Every structure is written in C-alpha cells, then in structure tokens.
C-alpha cells in the first residue's frame, strides 16, 4: 500500500527538478540570445569604423569622381 505513495512522491520530486532545470535553461537561453545580438551590433559598428579608417582600393576608386572627357578641337592643337 505504501509503494504507490512513495512512487508518486518521487515522481513529483523529479517533475519539480525538471521544471527548475527548464526555467534555469530558459533564462540562460534568453541571456545568450541577448549577448548574441549585442555582439552582432558591436561587430557591425566596429566594421564600419575600420572601413572608415582604412578603405580598400576599390572603395577609394569608387569615392573619387569619374574623369570627364573634354572635347579638344584639332584646330587648337595645330602648330604655328
């Protein structure tokens, strides 16, 4: 007669332990997710700062205005 009571008591203790573990893991997951997004944001900021300090050659070429060809008539180049 005592076995069902003991079994139900042990199962209740196991369920409470599982609930406590799940809550702790849920909080930890929330913290890790927040840290991930903070690191991603900081990485983006640092990446933009590095690009501003040392642009690549392609970025420098793109920043310079293109050379506009100008028309020079052949009569102005004639030798006198």
Residue 14: its pLDDT value, please?
A: 97
pLDDT of residue 64 exceeding 90, the answer is: no
User: Would you say residue 69 lies in a domain?
Assistant: no
Residue 4 belongs to domain spanning: 1-53
Residue 50 and residue 42 in contact, taking contact as beta carbons nearer than 8 Å: no
pLDDT tens sequence across 21-59? 999 999 999 999 999 999 999 999 999 998 888 878 777
Q: What is the pTM of this model?
A: 0.56
Task: Please indicate whether residue 79 or residue 46 has the higher confidence score (pLDDT).
Answer: 46
Task: Please indicate whether residue 46 or residue 71 has the higher confidence score (pLDDT).
Answer: 46
Instruction: Give the count of domains, the chain.
Output: 1
Residue 47 and residue 55 in contact, taking contact as beta carbons nearer than 8 Å: no
User: Would you say residue 34 lies in a domain?
Assistant: yes
């Amino acid at each position: 007669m005592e076995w069902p009571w003991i079994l139900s008591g042990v199962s209740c203790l196991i369920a409470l332990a599982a609930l406590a573990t799940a809550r702790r893991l849920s909080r930890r997951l929330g913290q890790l997710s927040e840290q991930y997004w903070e690191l991603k944001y900081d990485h983006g900021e640092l990446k933009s700062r590095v690009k501003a300090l040392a642009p690549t050659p392609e970025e420098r070429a793109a920043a310079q205005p293109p050379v506009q060809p100008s028309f020079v008539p052949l009569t102005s180049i004639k030798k006198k």
